[in-house]
Amino acid sequence: MRITAALTETRGAPFTLTPLELDDPRPGEVVVRMVSSGVCHTDLIIRDQWYPVPLPAVLGHEGAGVVEAVGDGVSYVAPGDHVVLTFNSCGGCRMCDQGRPAYCDGFFGCNFGGARPDGSSPLRRETGGGDVYGAFFGQSAFATHALANERNVVKVDRDAPLELLGPLGCGIQTGAGGVLNSLDPPAGSSIAVFGVGSVGVSAVMAAVLAGCCTIVAIDLNERRLELARELGATHTIDAALDDPVERLRDLTGGLGVDYTIETTAVPAVLRQAVDALNNGGTCGLIGAAALGTEVSLDMSSLLFGRSVRGIVEGDSVPRRFIPQLVELHRQGRFPFDRLIRTYAFEDINQAVEDSEKGDTLKPVLTFA
């Protein structure tokens, strides 16, 4: 099948719309006509080679669209079904067997390998010219059509707004799930979210759903802080003006907060997120740093029951969690559309620029 894809040719290069050939679906695979695709921070750090994903590649991992064809053995979806594309997993390892696909033992290969498990790419140039790597997060959604796997498609109601749903596949489910699934704060607890981009604001909205009484948003961008206030933060801290740890202790009578979420991947901010905890508090680390990034923590502080835990994809089981988020949005209780600005597919580089400048919280590409 001839498609148009946004190709990342070399490290740091702009996305280039390129005609490519997409394979027909093999057993267990699904071809999806894209309606929308979110632009995620992870796409940009892969473009910049923080992780060793082979290039040139078609990135994009927050797709939503309509199933056009399925391979042999696929029973979960059929042509015409509306779907959100999410992260991929092997389905057969110890973690997948425990219902924890975000921690699949083969997660890196399934999502960052640039190929199917057999090493083949579903994408190729029309006239030769070298390899093109695909299967990014089992989808490579920066394209008019994507080849996914039955495991990483999530069926949604046909009246759900596909033009908005792509980010549920990664960023929004990561922030919301980090609170609701991973930390699971009890009603009345306190939480601070360090970094209120799209993941952090999703965490703020989830903290409202969880019944947290003190919800603190921390950032350097006043517009982001204002949106966080509108969507449920009870307090905000501009980290350019105030020390977040001191402010959080002031807000909690000197004790510190019960939970923190760290989304920035900045080591100094992670240290703040741990130092701001009360005895017994938990910090959820969501921000994806470059491989090898290290942080210094006070061991004596950890000794008093504080903990740090990594969170991937919000501990989500996507076929359960994504429809729940769609329904919460339908009820007006999870207004993630407030985060989104749409761009035509051909304006992908403008979407990236606006995201990197902080002008757009969550860019979403739409396909005519």
pLDDT in tens, 202-223: 999 999 999 999 999 999 999 9
In a domain, 351, yes or no: yes
Confidence of residue 127 (pLDDT cuts 50, 70, 90): confident
For 111-138, the DSSP string reads: HHSSS-TTS--SEEEBTB-S--B--GGG
Q: How far apart are CA 118 and CA 43, in angstroms?
A: 23
Q: How many residues does the chain have?
A: 368
Q: Are residues 289 and 345 in the same domain?
A: no
Q: Are residues 163 and 195 in the same domain?
A: no
Q: Which residues 6+ apart lie within 8 Å of 97 measured at CB? A: none
Predicted local confidence at residue 179, as pLDDT: 98
Q: Are residues 201 and 158 in the same domain?
A: no
Q: Does pTM top 0.85 for this prediction?
A: yes
Q: Are residues 218 and 348 in the same domain?
A: no
Q: What is the span of the domain harbouring residue 237?
A: 175-312
pLDDT in tens, 19-48: 999 999 999 999 999 999 999 999 999 999
In a domain, 277, yes or no: yes
In a domain, 184, yes or no: yes
Residue 52 CB: number of other CB atoms within 10 A?
12
In a domain, 328, yes or no: no
Higher pLDDT, 291 or 101: 101
Confidence of residue 126 (pLDDT cuts 50, 70, 90): confident
In a domain, 317, yes or no: no
CATH code: domain of residue 297 = 3.40.50.720
Residue 130 has pLDDT above 90, yes or no: no
Q: Which residues 6+ apart lie within 8 Å of 213 measured at CB? A: 187, 188, 189, 190, 234
For range 163-174, the mean pLDDT: 97
Q: Are residues 125 and 54 in the same domain?
A: yes
Sign of the dihedral defined by the CA atoms of residues 148, 149, 150, 155, in that order: negative
Number of structural domains (the chain) is 2
In a domain, 89, yes or no: yes
Q: Do 263 and 203 contact (CB within 8 A), yes or no?
A: yes
CATH code: domain of residue 113 = 3.90.180.10
Q: Over the chain, what is the mean pLDDT?
A: 96
